[in-house]
Amino acid sequence: MLKDLSPQAFLMGLLTAFAGFASSFAVVLQGLKGVGATDAQAASGLMALSISMGLCAVVLSSTTRLPVSIAWSTPGAALLATAGAVEGGFAGAVGAFIVCALLIVVAGLFKPLGKAVASIPAPLANAMLAGVLVGLCFAPVKAVAFNPAFGLPIVVAWLLVGAWKRLYAVPAALAAFVLVLAFGVKIPDGALAAWAASLGPTVELVAPVFRLQDMISVALPLFIVTMASQNIPGIAVLKVNDYDPTPGPLFATTGLFSLLSAPFGGHAVNLAAITAAMCAGEDAHPDPNRRYWAAIIAGIGYVIFGLFAGAVTGFVGLAPPILIQAVAGLALIGAFSGSAVAALKEPETREAAAVTFLVTASGVTFLGISGAFWGLLAGGLAMVLARVARR
């Protein structure tokens, strides 16, 4: 196995870990805080997710000899950021995370459930995702309005670097955020000392609370967006690069590692899509049989980043929340544009997809259940009625 390790795969693995963590950890923090997590609980969740997805990547890639990249559910975190605090508090959210993880395991082991998720009309799934993402995508504009001296450097860095190399756009925005925080934001006395004390791992075990409304409002939409927006595309990326994975065991394994991270505040880990292309492509190694080492190195990198999650969260907490929300919003613009185009592409389903998007994006809550579920339900009803009318 060690004979397959190459400098090329090693460097690509490091780049994958940095890009995967730096480009979306802000979204994860916003998502966990959105459902009621404290700073310590959010740091614990970020740590648990990073370590879980790292170990999952190492296990799957080393056993299958395929470049199986793992990521946290970025669309799921965006969903949490817009769902609002659940009635059961963060303990209720953790209960929903556990149920979501169990559903992913069952989807991998029980083929009918996996097929049922895959059969959800793609326009509706994409419309729901677009509706979830659009709220956070407004954050960069709001950050500029809040304080142009703070918000503009972040947006300009994203624009300029993105025009040159899209992969580095969000890390550039993150670097601009760090510079703004270091030289522009007035840091309260004693805050740096408190941050220095948080450099070690932050572990917060949360006793879950299981409520039906939280399952419908959080667990079910989280399961759908994780499967439809991450796991299924992750398989597609591997197949595009001439690999032939067996989806079920991969899904079940990501569900198991999600289950392990949930009590510590992690919402879900899954197959990666964007970083999967980095590890599975020719840039990782000319020989497809040796590219799995890129995913293994990336997994090790995620574990290391996870150990410093408390320091990352503490540093981010020194800035006005709107600034890190801006970084998160910039990280999601690509996902929003892709899901919106996919949702509205087909004329026959365009109206139903628009209904799903609008209901989801409205953020309304009925019976304690968030708009993502109602959006999918309303869009499905509109699609069924349209088909009946055509017949």
Number of domains in the chain: 1
pLDDT at 179: 85
What is the rounded CA–CA span in Å between residue 66 and residue 186? 48
Query: Rounded to 5 degrees, what are φ and ψ at 199?
Result: -70, -25
Listed ranges 32-46, 75-89, 115-129, 255-269; the one with the highest mean pLDDT: 255-269
Pairing of strands 70-72, 269-271: antiparallel
Task: Give the contacts of 16 (CB within 8 A, at least 6 positions apart).
Answer: 69, 275, 278, 279, 294, 295, 297, 298, 301
Return the SS3 of 157: helix
The rounded radius of gyration (Å) of the Cα atoms in the chain is 20
Summarize pLDDT for 178-221 with one digit per residue, the tens: 888 778 767 666 555 655 555 666 788 888 988 888 888 889 88
What is the rounded CA–CA span in Å between residue 61 and residue 254? 12
Give the residue among 65, 54, 21 at the shortest CA–CA distance from 254: 54
Return the SS3 of 204: coil
Nearest-10 crossing angle of helices 122-137, 371-390: 140
Whole domain around residue 240: which residue ranges?
A: 2-390
Which tokens is 263 given? Answer: 């009590």
Summarize pLDDT for 88-139 with one digit per residue, the tens: 788 999 999 999 999 999 988 887 766 666 677 778 878 877 887 787 788 8
Q: Give the containing element (helix H, strand E) for 268.
A: none
pLDDT (average), residues 167-175 = 79
What is the rounded CA–CA span in Å between residue 45 and residue 90? 11
From first CA to last CA, the distance across the chain in angstroms is: 58
What is the rounded CA–CA span in Å between residue 109 and residue 200? 37
pTM: 0.74
Q: What share of the chain is helix, strand, coil (3-state, %, to 5)?
A: 75, 0, 20
pLDDT at 190: 59
Average pLDDT taken over every residue of the chain: 82
What is the rounded CA–CA span in Å between residue 385 and residue 374? 16
